[in-house]
Chain A
Amino acid sequence: MRTNAPAPEAPSTRNLKSASASQRQPLSITIGRYSALILWVGFTVLFGILRPDTFLTSVTWRLTISEGVVTAVVALAFLIPLVAGVYDLSVGATMGTGLVLMNWVGINHPGVPLWLAALGVLLACAFVGLCSSIIIVRFRVDSLIATLGVSQVLLAFQLFMSENRQMTGAFDDGWLDLGTRQVMGVPIVALYLLVLALLLWFVLEHTPVGRHLRAVGSNPEAARLAGLGVERLITGSLMCSAMVGGLAGIIFSMKVGTYSSSIGPGLLFPALAAVFFGASQFARRPNVWGTLIAYFALAFGVKGLQLTFGPGTFWIQPLFQGATLLIAVAMASRVVGQTRRSRRLQKDAEQGTATPTGS
């Protein structure tokens, strides 16, 4: 027989005290967490006053939203592996690849049903994701470099398939209708985006897989020691990311149809900006709704500026997106608040006690 050490009284009072402590946070941080939403409202008010006749019309809203859907899908593609701490810079190129493949099938094999082509595109993209993950996981190449390389290979593939020309006229009206129709006044592509976002949100926030991905992103070594299949999770996230990238290409083929080699790479920056800005929102980590709200806040800002200053202002978009990203992320980061506060304290102290006391 052995005896245990008696269980000491649980320090329940201490727990109660801390548990009852309110969860209040400094106002600046709270505002920072909702800055994208505030920005969106702010733009609506501002441009609503400046250009009430054009900005506040439902046409403008519909247009801005449907124009943004493809980029927002690319942003979600980037988000998935980012949760696990893996950068997939090939999402733009995957989108382009999906688009070129759809066009190629549409032009060269008009007999093949387009839904079948779309399925094939998704499978091909999954394979691309698998290749990236092998490079990253097996050969231990840094994900930034690996996916940067993969994106160039994909670009080469696109140029080869398209013979470096624009591709148009591949799709029938039935297919294009799937991308341009409206359902109860809402562009149908917005609904596609919504369904995808709901699905990803559910998986990332409400399933064990999502939790495991976050753990890998937080501390890969600890994740391995906690028994998670780190390599499998990374592989899976990259395959999903590539498939969502391909899906963006498919949606683009429904909406616009035309392929040109500049389309995919051009989406990368706005997509990344949305994800990083979005990661400073809400729970302050990469998240689905933050990404979407950040993206559309910026998109509406750009739209408002274009409407206000006219069509000569094509340079506004990158300037605006770059600047907003920098400001928003810097505002939300804790470091800024910290240094500001300590600088202020220091100043106070220097003014208050100019002469050293004591001897």
Chain B
Amino acid sequence: MNALDIRGLSKTFSGHVVLHGVDLTVRRGEVHALVGQNGSGKSTLIKVLAGYHAPDAGATAQVLGRELTLGSAAAADRLNIRFVHQDLGLANDLTLTENIMLGRRYPRRAGIAIDWPKARRIAHECISRTGPAIDVNRTVAEFGIAERTRIAIARALPDNDDPALIVLDEPTAALPAQDVEKLFDTIRGLTAAGNAVLLVSHHLDEILGVSDTVTVLRDGARVATVPTAEVDKHSLTELIIGRALSRDVERAPRAVDDSRPIATIEGLSGTSLLDIDIDLRPGEIVGIAGLTGSGREEVAALVTGRTHRDGGTVRIGSRSVPSGDPRAALAAGMAWIVGERARYAVFPAMDLRSNITIGDVGRHQRGGRLRHHDERAEARDWIHELGIVASGTDADIATLSGGNQQKALVARALRLKPAVLVLDDPTAGIDIGARQQVHGIIAGRADESMAVLITSTDSEELARLCDRVLVLARGRVVAELARGVDLDAATIDHTQVSGVPA
């Protein structure tokens, strides 16, 4: 008896086949990874399982030998299939206990008043099933991203002791390496207790590290299901994209450059960021690394004006960029891709082309009238250049897969031809082949003398792209690594953990 058996699952959206007779078997107690390029149908498969979409006729599914009605949320819930969505869906202002109890019935005293001690005990039990105990009275906002992911998993766990299937769709897209390790401990703990885990991720190293079996989707069809032990990064990549990945070409070290910086950031301070200086020269790619809590996660927001600075100045050329004013930052020649796509960047219920052109639609206006034809032509160029998979320029952005939405944001920023580009986890959710392509485009633009500031949780990405990487710890720069000298992923990882230069 398997934890999940899906046979012949197809899904068609308006005549567009997204899943094509997919079979999927998740055995009990295993971590099963689901991988594939952007738009290959991973999230759609999960949404069918969750009952959000109804499948095409002919699909069958069983959970531990019992029949599961695909397309019904209640049926999935009854059979202990639980989902943790990428944005976690926690109420940040409520306590851990309250969050755990959100999906449950509160214990009552005399049928009326909430029995808080008992509620806290339940929360404690749930969180203990995912790892070391943490204080259940603190509000969720006080926890780091790793703990929050655990809380979301704990909340999803069923109350009964029957084995469950926990489904995680890209839980690590924005998690730093250390936190990923913690999450994987949680996952291993869950499977050791007899549960099964279905995991979607674009990070192949993580897949290879934690999963027992891998299923690869390509263009909506299952191309392979193999034991993880039998693949390596190279062969898995080939399975995913259907060909070998062209080799990364290393950026050469920059010649000594004493041109004047195009952007100077001085004394930048925020909640956890204390006081950092960054200079950017034209054509230079500078990375910011650091664990969660080091201040890294604040840099992009403070520089672009998404949040107000507690101190410091940002200048581009001779223009000073005021705090908390994205409009002024854009006018000064800055553009960006901000993190937390759904919250800060995507315009739901608007089409792909509007989402691309929003920063400057005026370009397609003549005599006060928007030339939709010109706008579509530009959007088509971007769709082609970045390989965005969509049913057309006028497809609702919400119907694009996560990675393809991210590519639309890349287009939105690049079309502004900024002097300074600020990137916050620019390839979050983008598949391995497309990531290389986006990196190539960014490097190419830098060669045309655009300055780039990247903050990323992905050390490999920083090591591959950057000329210099500033490593943050406790709100300050603790090391500066330079290409051709001491810049590589291992050093970044080591430095951000130890907090001292290697």
Q: Across the interface, name the chain A residue whose C-beta is closest to B73.
A: A342
**Complex CA–CA separation, A161 to B370 (angstroms):** 44
| Bound CA–CA A214/B219 (angstroms) | 33
Task: Kindly state whether residue A207 has any CB partner on chain B within 8 Å.
Answer: yes
**Chain B residue with minimal CB distance to A3?**
B249
Q: How far is the CA of A285 from the CA of B351 in the complex (A)?
A: 12
CB-nearest residue of chain A to B394: A23
A12 to B383 CA separation, bound complex (whole angstroms): 10
The number of chain A residues with a CB under 8 A from chain B is 54
Other-chain residue from B249, B252, B388 in contact with A1 (beta carbon distance below 8 A):
B252
Q: Indicate the size class of the contact surface on chain B.
A: 35 or more
Q: Contacting B347 at CB < 8 Å: which of A2, A21, A222, A356?
A: A222
Q: Are B365's CB and A207's CB within 8 A?
A: yes
Q: Quote the shortest CB–CB distance from B215 to chain A (angstroms).
A: 20
**Which residues of chain B have C-beta atoms less than 8 A from A359's C-beta?**
1, 65
Q: Is the CB of A338 within 8 A of B54?
A: yes
Contact B71 A7 (CB under 8 A): no
Known: A8-B436, A226-B358, A358-B65. A3 touches B347 (CB 8 A): no
Task: Among A10, A21, A206, A225, point to the contact of B370 (Cβ < 8 A).
Answer: A206
- In the complex, residue of chain A having the shortest beta-carbon distance to the beta carbon of B388: A15
Closest CB of chain B to A222's CB: distance in Å? 5
How far apart are B44's CB and chain A's nearest CB, in angstroms?
Answer: 13
Give A359's nearest chain B residue, CB to CB: B65
| Given known contacts A2-B443, A18-B389, A345-B71, A219 and B347 CB-to-CB distance under 8 angstroms | yes
Would B249 and A21 count as touching, CB distance under 8 A?
no
**Chain A residue with the shortest CB-CB distance to B465:** A5
Is A225 touching B246 in the complex (CB atoms < 8 A)? no
The answer to whether A357 and B69 touch across the interface, beta carbons within 8 angstroms, is no
Nearest neighbor of A6 in chain B, beta-carbon distance: B246
B386: shortest Cβ distance to chain A, in Å?
8
A227 to chain B: which residues have CB within 8 Å?
A: 326-327, 330-331, 359
CB-based contact A5/B345 at 8 Å: no
How many Å lie between the Cα of A89 and that of B385 in the bound state?
46
How far, in whole Å, are A359 and B447 apart by their CA atoms in the complex? 64
The CA-CA distance from A207 to B372 in the complex, in Å, is: 10
Bound CA span A77–B185, Å:
57
A5 touches B248 (CB 8 A): yes
Q: In chain B, residues 247-270, which have Cβ atoms closer than 8 Å to a Cβ of chain A? A: 248-252, 254
Interface residues in B386-410 by Cβ distance below 8 A to A read: 387-392
User: Is A152 on the interface with B (CB-CB < 8 A)?
Assistant: no
The answer to whether A215 touches B358, judged by C-beta atoms less than 8 angstroms apart, is yes
Which residues between 370 and 428 of chain B lie within 8 Å of chain A, taking CB atoms? 370, 372, 383-385, 387-392, 412
Contact call A349/B67, Cβ cutoff below 8 A: yes
Of A8, A10, A22, the residue contacting B384 (CB under 8 A) is A10
Q: Is B105 an interface residue (CB 8 A)?
A: no
**A25 interface residue per 8 A CB criterion:** yes
Judge whether B114 is part of the interface by a CB distance below 8 angstroms: no
Question: Does any Cβ of A come within 8 Å of B148's Cβ?
Answer: no
Q: Which residues of B contact A222 (CB under 8 A)?
A: 343-347
Give A351 Cβ to nearest chain B Cβ, in Å.
Answer: 11
Once A353-B67, A359-B65 are accepted as A-B contacts, the answer to whether A7 and B437 lie under 8 Å apart by CB is yes
Q: Does B304 count as interface, using CB distance less than 8 angstroms?
A: yes
> Is the Cβ of A15 less than 8 Å from the Cβ of B389?
yes
Distance, CA A342 to CA B75, complexed state (A): 10
CB A220 to nearest CB in B, in angstroms, measures 10
Contact code string B273-305 (vs A, CB < 8 Å = 1, else 0): 000000000000000000000000000000010
Residue of A nearest to B433 (CB): A8
**Which chain B residues border A225 with CB–CB below 8 Å?**
304, 306, 326, 336, 338, 344-345
A2-B443, A15-B387, A358-B62 known; A22+B15 contact, CB < 8 A = yes
Complex: chain B residue closest to A350, CB-CB: B69
Considering the complex, which residues of chain B in the window 200-224 have a beta carbon less than 8 Å from any beta carbon of chain A? Answer: 219
* With contact pairs A15-B387, A215-B358, A222-B346 given, residues A357 and B249 touching in the complex (Cβ less than 8 Å): no
Q: Decide if B108 is an interface residue (CB 8 Å cutoff).
A: no
- In the assembled complex, how far is the CB of residue B335 from the closest CB belonging to chain A, in whole angstroms? 9
A225 to B327 CA separation, bound complex (whole angstroms): 7
Chain B 349-376 interface 0/1 with A at a Cβ cutoff of 8 Å (1 = within): 1100010001101100100111010000
* B365 and A208 within 8 A (CB): yes
Closest chain-B Cβ to A7's Cβ sits at a distance in Å of: 6
B252, B391, B412: the one contacting A21 at CB < 8 Å is B391
Question: With the chains together, A194 CA to B74 CA distance in Å?
Answer: 49
By CB atoms of chain B within 10 A, which of A12, A25, A356, A358 has the most? A358
Q: Is B444 part of the contact surface with A, judged by Cβ < 8 Å?
A: yes
Of A15, A23, A202, A285, the residue contacting B383 (CB under 8 A) is A15
- The answer on a CB contact under 8 Å between A218 and B370 is no
Contact A19 B15 (CB under 8 A): no
B5 to chain A, nearest CB (A): 9
Contacts of B250 in A (CB 8 A): 3
- Can you give 19 A-B contacts (C-beta < 8 A)? A8-B433, A8-B436, A12-B384, A15-B388, A21-B16, A21-B391, A22-B14, A23-B15, A24-B15, A208-B361, A208-B365, A214-B347, A221-B343, A222-B343, A222-B346, A228-B358, A229-B327, A345-B69, A346-B71
8 further A-B contacts with Cβ under 8 Å, apart from A2-B252, A21-B14, A22-B15, are A2-B251, A5-B246, A8-B436, A21-B16, A23-B392, A211-B354, A225-B338, A226-B412
**B interface with A by C-beta (< 8 Å):** 1, 14-17, 39, 51, 54, 62, 65-67, 69-75, 219, 246, 248-252, 254, 304, 306, 326-327, 330-331, 336, 338, 343-350, 354, 358-359, 361-362, 365, 368-370, 372, 383-385, 387-392, 412, 433, 436-437, 439-441, 443-444, 447
Q: What 6 A-B pairs are tightest by C-beta distance, nearest first? A: A358-B65, A5-B440, A21-B16, A227-B330, A218-B347, A22-B15
